Amino acid sequence: MDEAAWRGGLAEHYDYMLTERPEDPDMRESASVWVYEENGEFAFPRNGIEAVGAVWDTHRYDCNFAFADGRALFEVKMDGKTHSPIAPDGRAAILGAGGFAFRCVEPYREWRVTYEGNPIDTTTADMIAGTVDPGKRTSLRYELDITMVTPAWVQDNTPEALARMTGRERTDAGLMGFGYRMEHLFRARGTLWLDGRERRFNAVGNRIHRQSVRPLDAFRGHCWQAAVFPDGRAFGYIAYPPAEDGSTYNEGYIYQDGQWYPATATKIPWLKGMQVSGEDMSLELKSALGTTRIAAVGGLNTFKHGIAEMPGFALNQGGAKYTWDGQTAYGMVERSSWASQLNPAT
């Protein structure tokens, strides 16, 4: 696969950072990683920065951590002091705030992520029950070096692309963001410091980098899953529930034997309730390969209620153990639904 295809058609500079406050106060630069220890011992189900033009001197970041025994930690920092985007070599390679930072080592190939903070120390069960004690905190630090192992999956919602869309398509494009978004699956090596213990680990995961304006007034929920397997095959998709006219956004891919196959999800585990672990999150994807069935069991979960950007919605950011043709891998899950429509917690 040539470099242009690996980048999903984007130029090299799109994987560097904005160097100054954007003119549009709603423009945001965002980077996030979803990290899964290869044996499922723990996960970082979304650690991300949101840099918004209106408050460019302080970036928001959200960091979630989940463990196989049900422990969960999280930190939401609304006013992390912005780091300079300029790396020592003069490139605009850094997106950082407070104790959290991303660095682009090689565009579309290698990034480094570091975090040091004092997240709230709780459990997934307490998140579901709404009984989290915000005063109970612990110290956590990690360093992570990630290497991309799939080509960029790109959502191109630039003005040129929007001009070719229907009104319905433009509404859903706004939910993804007017601008661009890229996503890669990766393998990683890292070190985690927690509870006075240093752990070196190998991981798999998903990273996202975007620059876009993202109006969410028409948001109606979503389901997003992705994973990479030991032999290199991988999948990912994002789907929104159908709108009133039956249309929707439902796009994904399968990456197998070095080939890229666009796909749509035909079986989707929408968020219908909150469960610590064990939920069936199996999925099916339709592509030129036919119907691909991937079994999945949920775990390594975090849950949130009443998010400012998503009023009235419940959000699940977690993981699953995926099985595909006898191979297993841990990977990401993010889902949202109207909180009023969820089944009682289980």
Containing H/E element for 267? Answer: strand 259-267
CA–CA gap between residue 54 and residue 56 (Å, rounded): 6
**How do residues 310-345 score in pLDDT, each as one tens digit?**
778 899 999 999 999 999 999 999 999 988 888 876
**How do residues 28-85 score in pLDDT, each as one tens digit?**
999 999 999 999 999 999 999 999 999 999 999 999 999 999 999 999 999 999 999 9
State the CATH architecture for 3-341: Beta Barrel (2.40)
The answer to whether residues 165 and 206 touch, using CB atoms and an 8 Å cutoff, is no
Predicted pLDDT of residue 196 = 96
User: Mean pLDDT lowest for which of 107-111, 154-158, 198-202, 230-234?
Assistant: 154-158
The answer to whether residues 107 and 91 touch, using CB atoms and an 8 Å cutoff, is no
pLDDT above 70: residue 218: no
CA–CA gap between residue 282 and residue 292 (Å, rounded): 11
Q: What average pLDDT does range 175-186 have in this prediction?
A: 82
Reported confidence tier of residue 270, pLDDT bands at 50, 70, 90: very high
Q: What average pLDDT does range 281-293 have in this prediction?
A: 98
The answer to whether residues 336 and 221 touch, using CB atoms and an 8 Å cutoff, is yes
pLDDT > 70: percent of the chain? 92
Mean pLDDT, the chain, rounded, equals 92
The answer to whether residues 279 and 271 touch, using CB atoms and an 8 Å cutoff, is no
- 252 exposure class (CB count in 10 Å sphere: 0-12, 13-18, 19+): buried
Beta bridge partners, 261, equal 254
Reported confidence tier of residue 163, pLDDT bands at 50, 70, 90: low
* Length reported for the chain: 346
Q: Which of 119, 185, 152 is nearest to 330 (CA)?
A: 185
pLDDT above 80: residue 177: no
Residue in this structure with the two tokens 């950011």, named with its chain if needed: 317
Residue in this structure with the two tokens 């500079």, named with its chain if needed: 13
pLDDT above 90: residue 222: yes
CA–CA gap between residue 82 and residue 101 (Å, rounded): 10
